[in-house]
């Protein structure tokens, strides 16, 4: 039950973050190059992602669970630490915050100035921009849905989290027809980094032959540990940033 | 060949990212955990400790002046 709730929540949060980014690209492509090419590109990417999930999902279920947890736990931990590292650097001021409005403006400008090349009535630039954006952002969603789902023994449960995010982001995107800059994306990315790292620690330990005191309930303990660790690093780096600022000020 | 390299680079960036040392740290930690578990040691503490160390080192490198 505990792991199931974590699974749906993690898949939902991770998918929502990636979908907000994909939406920005599709919007820029649609506004600058026409909606037909942009939506065809998005549809083709969604189809490609569905094929990847349909092919890889069942294949992973035949691998012994401990081996799967070891590999998936290691991959999620490596992947999750990247997210967490960037989130901590953003929160402490060492890295610029993710700005969906700025990204949208840049994509829009590039799409407006690109040369027009039509194939079968479809603008190739608009199609490719939309296809690549949705495919690349969607691959992260597919990776999370497949790895979380197969390791926890329920790809459909992970897919429910991702589908809920798709409905929410697409619904709001269609309603406002603007990049979702008000979504607290940096906070969401932090939460996803924490979730990925938590699952990575939990599964890689089980896959390596260890067991957790309290079984699945230990996920709460691991989660609390990762949150506390992140908070300590953010506080320490903020202090370091302030000290550097003061030192530079004194030298000037 | 170009596509194979691009494909490999994509997956490298996707999973490993900016700091390959962090990925090596994770692999070493999992290996050590497996070895300790095989020796009958309770290993629930090893990965959290390893994550704290890896995160500390990768953040220190990223914020070095």
The mean per-residue pLDDT over the stretch B32-53 comes to 94
Q: What 3-state DSSP class applies to A156?
A: helix
CA end-to-end distance (rounded Å), chain A = 58
The alpha-helical segments, DSSP class H, found in chain A are 2-33, 35-61, 65-91, 100-113, 124-152, 155-176, 185-207, 218-251
pLDDT greater at residue B19 or residue B28: B28
Q: Give the pLDDT band (50/70/90) at residue A125.
A: confident
Q: Is A213 exposed, middle or buried (0-12, 13-18, 19+ CB in 10 A)?
A: exposed
**Average pLDDT of chain A to the nearest whole number:** 84
DSSP states of A64-91 as a string? -HHHHHHHHHHHHHHHHHHHHHHHHHHH
Among chain B residues, CA nearest to A241 = B63
Name which of B22, B23, B30 is nearest A208 (Cβ-Cβ). B30
> What part of A 57-96 touches B (C-beta under 8 Å)?
70, 73-75, 77-79, 81-82, 84-85, 88-89, 94
ipTM of the assembly?
A: 0.91
- Average the pLDDT over each of A89-93, A100-104, A144-148, B40-44 and give the range with the smallest value: A100-104
Domain ranges of chain B: 18-63
Q: What 3-state DSSP class applies to A122?
A: strand
Q: Say yes or no to pLDDT of B44 above 90.
A: yes
């Amino acid at each position: 039950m505990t792991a199931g709730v974590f699974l749906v929540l993690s898949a939902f949060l991770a998918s929502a973050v990636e979908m907000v980014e994909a939406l920005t690209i599709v919007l820029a492509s649609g506004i600058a190059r026409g909606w037909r090419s942009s939506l065809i590109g998005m549809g083709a990417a969604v189809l490609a992602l569905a094929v990847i999930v349909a092919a890889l999902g069942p294949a992973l279920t035949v691998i012994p669970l401990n081996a799967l947890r070891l590999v998936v736990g290691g991959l999620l931990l490596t992947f999750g630490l990247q997210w967490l590292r960037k989130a901590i650097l953003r929160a402490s001021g060492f890295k610029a915050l993710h700005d969906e409005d700025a990204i949208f403006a840049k994509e829009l400008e590039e799409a407006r100035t690109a040369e027009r090349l039509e194939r079968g009535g479809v603008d190739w630039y608009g199609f490719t921009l939309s296809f690549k954006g949705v495919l690349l952002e969607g691959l992260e969603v597919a990776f999370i849905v497949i790895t979380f789902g197969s390791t926890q023994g329920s790809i459909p449960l992970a897919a429910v989290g991702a589908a809920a995010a798709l409905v929410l982001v697409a619904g709001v995107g269609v309603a406002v027809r603007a990049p979702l800059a008000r979504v607290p994306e940096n906070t969401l990315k932090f939460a996803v980094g924490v979730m990925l790292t938590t699952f990575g620690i939990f599964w890689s330990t089980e896959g390596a032959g260890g067991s957790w005191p309290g079984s699945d309930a230990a996920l709460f303990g691991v989660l609390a540990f990762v949150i506390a660790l992140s908070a300590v690093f953010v506080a320490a780096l903020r202090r370091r940033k302030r000290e550097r600022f003061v030192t530079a000020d004194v030298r000037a | 060949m170009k596509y194979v390299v691009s494909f490999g680079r994509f997956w490298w960036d996707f999973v490993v990212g900016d700091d390959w040392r962090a990925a090596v740290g994770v692999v070493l930690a999992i290996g050590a955990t497996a070895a300790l578990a095989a020796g009958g040691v309770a290993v629930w503490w090893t990965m959290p400790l390893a994550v704290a160390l890896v995160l500390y080192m990768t953040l220190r490198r990223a914020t070095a002046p």
